[in-house]
Amino acid sequence: MSNPLSAEVQTSPAQPAEAKLWGGRFTEATDALVEAFSESVSFDRRLWRQDIRGSQAHARMLQLIGVLSELELKAIIDGLDRIYCDIETGRFAWQTRLEDVHMNIESALTAQIGEAGKKLHTARSRNDQVATDLRLYVRDAIDELHATIDALAAALLELAEREADSVMPGFTHLQIAQPVTFGHHMLAWREMLLRDRARLLDARRRTNVLPLGSAALAGTIYPLERHYVAELLEFEAVSENSLDAVSDRDFAIEFCSACALLMVHLSRWSEELILWSGPMYGFVRLPDRFCTGSSIMPQKKNPDVPELVRGKTGRVIGDLQALLVLMKGQPLAYNRDNQEDKPPLFDAHDTALTCLQVLTAMLPAMEVDRAACRAAAAKGYATATDLADYLVGKGLPFRDAHHAVGAAVAFAVKRGCDLAELSLDELRGFSALIESDVFRHITLEASVSARRTYGGTSPVQVRAAIERARRAIPQ
């Protein structure tokens, strides 16, 4: 997928009504203010690849049903190929008086090949044309995001393997809870990504339905071969209802919803990276090339990449909100409001894509300070649950064990030491069941190693999860 074209859109004075491709019914030229207000080519020209592809498929179908001759079809296909090259190389002159991407391309085609170009729009409307273009665009966008998510997921897998044994604190309520491994934490991030990937692929299935052939809203009198067009454009199905087909933007909303949730996940990661890279935590060192400094404080190294990802999340959530509000009051069928569906759709795609790309580039170069992570895990009595579980193993009911360990923690807090730093006699003061083997159970390494349940944090389970993940990746 390419970014919006950098070529300038050419403006011009209001044209006589008959100069418009739809101007036969009108006796006045479009007001210049209205022309500037209503144009969409400044942003919808981004759909030019999809528009040309859809037009070529439509032309092939028109030839199949006898509307176009072989010579006319060849002229149209060749002409659209030339326009494709002109746009790709920046030679194409976009014109606001032609309103949108569709009219610009059709007008250029007719100027090149004459009467055959005027036949291309037979049996279609801009309503089903733009619906087709948008579905092609969203399908391409999903494929692009899918590939980028896979790259980031692979980077997380490598990082998880590298840090499978590295102990760090796990948090609830932002308070130290229990020890986990850094590798386990990275696999948690990866699980979020896998759900995002699945949501996008599921949305692709509903996107991949051909609306072309619905015309303005009621279908057409021509004997269209819609399934032939669907095959040419690689759509899995053909729309069942022409009214719905031209007015439906569920697929765009669903795509933006998936992008918004993806960005929420990236924002949560970013919040952790911002905390972890600061001196209060010191768990990770972000590469200098992904950070910036302060204009006044020489010592500063600011985590700008994760901060910007966190900030850009609001944009994508706003894009989703914009589409929902755009659609909420629209009666059937197509309404011009839907011109406004494209800026938020494009922005959601662009923002999610760039955030994925920059995190994919940054994470492999991030350094983990294992000593700092372990030192933090040693604070906050993170192995208290392990002591309670130890007592349960000695036959004490869990609630009684919980109470005894809570009292031991309170004692250690007053002493200013960790549970593992209490003497055996001191620990036995809270339960006579405690024996000398207790110290083998309340170290950080023992705590993480003991959590061997499927999906748990032990290095054995982390490596097993990595192996399962690698086997699941298509070769």
Catalytic residue among 58, 242, 277, 294: 294
User: 310 near 342, Cβ under 8 Å?
Assistant: no
CB contact burial 369-405 (16+ within 10 A = b; e otherwise): beebbbbbbbebbbbbbbbbbbbbeeebeeeebbebb
Query: What is the chain's alpha carbon radius of gyration, rounded to the nearest angstrom?
Result: 31
Length of the chain equals: 475
Residues 6+ apart with CB under 8 A from 306: 269, 270, 271, 273, 274, 277, 286
Tokens found for residue 331: 């009666």
CA dist 290 and 278 (Å) reads: 14
The active-site residue out of 2, 6, 173, 295 is: 173
C-alpha neighbours within 13 Å on the C-beta side of residue 200: 28
For residue 358, give the amino acid letter: V
Q: Is 184 a catalytic residue?
A: no
Q: Residue 454 to residues 153, 439, 463, 464: CA-CA distances in angstroms? A: 20, 25, 11, 9
Q: What are phi and psi of 368, to 5 degrees?
A: -100, 125
Task: State the amino acid at position 88 in one-letter form.
Answer: E
How far apart, in Å, are the Cα atoms of 382 and each of 168, 234, 413?
10, 55, 13
**Token pair 């759509």 is at which residue?**
235
Does the annotation mark 173 as catalytic? yes
| Residues 247, 218: Cα–Cα separation, whole Å | 12
Task: Please give the positions annotated as active site.
Answer: 173, 294
